Amino acid sequence: MVQRYFNMNNIVKIISDDIFKVCAELGIKVNKGEIKLEHPADTQFGDYATSLPMGLAKSEHKSPNEIAGSIKARLDKIIDKEIIEKVEIAGAGFINFYLKKEFLIKEAEVLNYELEFKNKLSEVGHGKTLVIDYSAPNIAKPFGIGHLRSTNIGQSLYNLYKILGWNTIGDNHIGDWGTQFGKLIVAIKRLGSAKQNLDDLTIEDLEKLYVKFHKEAETNPELVDEGRDWFSKLENGDKEAKENWQKCIDISFKEYDQVYELLDVKIDEIHGESFYANMLPEIIDGITKKGITKISDGALIIEFDDMPPAMLRKSNGTTTYLTRDMATIKYRKEIWNPDMVIYEVGADQQLHFRQVFKIAELMGWMPKEGLVHVAHGLIRWPTGKFSTRKGDTIHLSDVIDRAMEKAEEIANKSQVSKDLSTEEKKEMIKNVAIGAIKFNDLSSDPKRDIVFDWDQVMSLEGDSGPYLQYTYARCCSVLDKTKIKEQKNINNSAENLNPEELALLKEFYKFEEKIIEAATRFSPSVVAEYLINVARKYNEFYGKHRILDQPEENFRIFLTKTTSSILEIGLKLLGIKPIEKM
């Protein structure tokens, strides 16, 4: 399991170790993995809680409360009093742990310093290497809203593992090879305008030709066979096929480069499927020699006990998507020797990756726990998923344009924006629009489908990227106005905390574990939800208490700085730009 790559955070480890020690002293047999700690929904029941006694009741032949009482009695004697204020029993065998206010303040002090915080987190993944395969648009198709999930989730996972100290390599596995290019060549030659120069085509023109091909093929199935023939020519190095194919790539990257720049996405490596074309004969030969292939109706396949067969080579001699993915795994193993490879690809590819991972395991290239498919749900219409063949996709550029219009409306109503130069305002509008689009995606668990709803995507209020950016800007405004630049004697404030201040402190200390949890679960939504909670708590505090020119200003500026640090780091992890003035 991927959990083996991560350590528990210090607080959880301290409490878990103490529980394990106490159980051993009491003669209770328990594995460390059984000791689970969680945050109670209501902080009146503690900052951490475990239901372990309930799980032990049957084997120990005692009531959960009796077991909880025995464990608590011994914990009271050994628990770290500098961290834990008290231990209590609640309900039917829950043990609740309350953190000391002074400890909460010390934890918050670390978060005031981004560099120190990053150094602390980098110990988690030190010495480990991750390759993450994400974005991967298909050549000759405009960057659709459907590609956004892989790009956003993948980039955020990249950021999460990077801050945790992993040597992280992003690889953009471009879809630039396959039968669809044979079909596109047929469309260009037979369905395009005779006067049209290939150099003058746009990516939208290529998409229209692809759609036109499939409509024509419904009544003329010979076109499909012709497309297969042209891809066979492409694989065999036919000059005309390669020239047409290369033009499609050049046209496509004009758009993709613009999109990545706008989204502020920078992927380390770009290796299209075509990159692996020369390696395929060796890959097929190696897998065949392993004795796991067979010929079926002229095609080379691999059969499995628990899933349908996979095809390495078609009956006409052309290779498949699976063959190229096998070459990709072998290449990544030889070049980077990763501990883990993450594929951020749609859920509709689950069977494909089960087959790929099984073959890699059989070949000894990667262990099964080192290969992970983060299977994101679709962004779809209420009536079904998008389809380039049917011509009903939504282009990301259209979504961004509409988001820009909404962001400009917000900016025009803002008092602060009036103090910005034209270029500063333009940059702010762009960052708010992109933040809204990204957060709308990242705030949902990757596994869930997202029904495409213009109002939801364009919402710049409530639980949104702009709400987080606005809260960060509010913190910056407060910090800009205060004369206090360095806090001293922060712990003196622990005795006089009001409920809103304590509520903030009880969110701050969770940041490190939320980052680890997000990486472990491959779900940036964990960080997104956490940031919303921090922003809400700060705005509640801000709404009820004056900060400047108060006796408590020193401590309240400290809370503001900590909130600012968390939001800044967290937004960057999600790939969203923090905005100082909004």
Q: What is the pLDDT of residues 270-328, one digit of tens each?
A: 999 999 999 999 999 999 999 999 999 999 999 999 999 999 999 989 889 999 999 99
- Domain check: are 324 and 187 in the same one? yes
Question: Does any domain span residue 155?
Answer: yes
Burial (0-12, 13-18, 19+ Cβ within 10 Å), 423: exposed
Which pLDDT score is estimated for 192? 72
- Domain check: are 284 and 350 in the same one? yes
Virtual torsion, Cα 307, 310, 315, 319, nearest 10 deg: 160
Q: Which two tokens stand for residue 288?
A: 């065949």
Q: What CATH number corresponds to the domain at position 342? A: 3.40.50.620
pLDDT digits (tens, 9 = 90+) for 89-110: 998 899 999 999 999 999 898 8
- Domain check: are 497 and 556 in the same one? yes
d(CA 150, CA 171): 12
Which pLDDT score is estimated for 51? 95
- Domain check: are 477 and 545 in the same one? yes
Q: What CATH number corresponds to the domain at position 409? A: 1.10.730.10
More confident residue, 409 or 437: 437
Which pLDDT score is estimated for 114? 76
- Domain check: are 64 and 148 in the same one? no
Count CB-CB contacts under 10 A for residue 77. Answer: 7
Which pLDDT score is estimated for 484? 87
pLDDT digits (tens, 9 = 90+) for 199-221: 788 898 998 898 899 899 999 98
Which region among 156-160, 441-445, 486-490 has the lowest average model confidence (pLDDT)? 486-490
- Domain check: are 207 and 290 in the same one? yes
Question: Does any domain span residue 152?
Answer: yes
pLDDT band of 111, cuts 50, 70, 90: confident
Structural Rg of the chain based on CA atoms: 28
Question: Does any domain span residue 140?
Answer: yes
Which pLDDT score is estimated for 145? 75
pLDDT band of 495, cuts 50, 70, 90: confident
CB neighbours of 541 closer than 8 A, spacing ≥ 6? 500, 501, 503, 504, 559
Q: What CATH number corresponds to the domain at position 94? A: 3.30.1360.70
Q: What is the mean pLDDT of the chain?
A: 90
Q: Is the pLDDT of residue 374 over 70?
A: yes
- Cβ contact 342:133 at 8 Å: yes
Which pLDDT score is estimated for 582? 80
- Domain check: are 490 and 549 in the same one? yes
Q: Which two tokens stand for residue 377?
A: 């749900």
Q: Which two tokens stand for residue 99?
A: 């953190």
Bridge-partner residues for 171, per DSSP? 133, 269
Collapse the DSSP code of 45 into the 3-class scheme (helix H, G, I; strand E, B; otherwise coil) and give the result.
helix
d(CA 376, CA 372): 12
Question: Does any domain span residue 230?
Answer: yes
Which pLDDT score is estimated for 7? 55
- Cβ contact 349:134 at 8 Å: no
Q: Is the pLDDT of residue 389 over 60?
A: no
Collapse the DSSP code of 118 into the 3-class scheme (helix H, G, I; strand E, B; otherwise coil) and give the result.
helix
pLDDT digits (tens, 9 = 90+) for 131-155: 999 999 989 888 877 788 999 999 9
Which pLDDT score is estimated for 119? 78
Question: Does any domain span residue 123?
Answer: no
Question: Does any domain span residue 33?
Answer: yes
Q: Is the pLDDT of residue 63 over 80?
A: yes
pLDDT band of 5, cuts 50, 70, 90: low
Phi, psi torsion values for 343, nearest 5 degrees? -110, 110
Question: Does any domain span residue 126?
Answer: no
Report the candidate in 167, 522, 573 with the shortest Cα–Cα distance to residue 371: 522
Q: Is the pLDDT of residue 32 over 70?
A: yes
Indicate the pairing of strand 384-385 with strand 379-381. Answer: antiparallel
More confident residue, 456 or 371: 371
How confident is the model over 422-449, as a mean pLDDT? 91
How confident is the model over 332-344, as a mean pLDDT? 97
162: containing domain: 134-385
pLDDT band of 124, cuts 50, 70, 90: confident
As for how many domains the chain has, the answer is 3
- Domain check: are 237 and 294 in the same one? yes
Count CB-CB contacts under 10 A for residue 358. Answer: 19
- Cβ contact 482:548 at 8 Å: yes
Q: Quick one: which H or E segment has residue 470?
A: helix 465-481
Which pLDDT score is estimated for 297? 96
Which pLDDT score is estimated for 505? 96
Q: Cα angle at 221 between 216 and 223, to 5 degrees?
A: 70
- Domain check: are 471 and 561 in the same one? yes
C-alpha torsion sign, points 445, 449, 454, 456:
negative
Which pLDDT score is estimated for 340? 97
- Domain check: are 415 and 548 in the same one? yes
- Cβ contact 54:64 at 8 Å: yes
Task: Give the domain-ending residue among 99, 124, 143.
Answer: 99
- Domain check: are 376 and 404 in the same one? no
Question: Does any domain span residue 112?
Answer: no
Which pLDDT score is estimated for 403? 87
How confident is the model over 170-190, as a mean pLDDT? 91
Which pLDDT score is estimated for 195? 47
- Domain check: are 360 and 503 in the same one? no
Which region among 61-65, 138-142, 388-392 has the lowest average model confidence (pLDDT)? 388-392
How confident is the model over 492-520, as a mean pLDDT? 92
Share of the chain above pLDDT 70, in %: 93
Q: Quick one: which H or E segment has residue 68?
A: helix 64-78
Burial (0-12, 13-18, 19+ Cβ within 10 Å), 299: middle
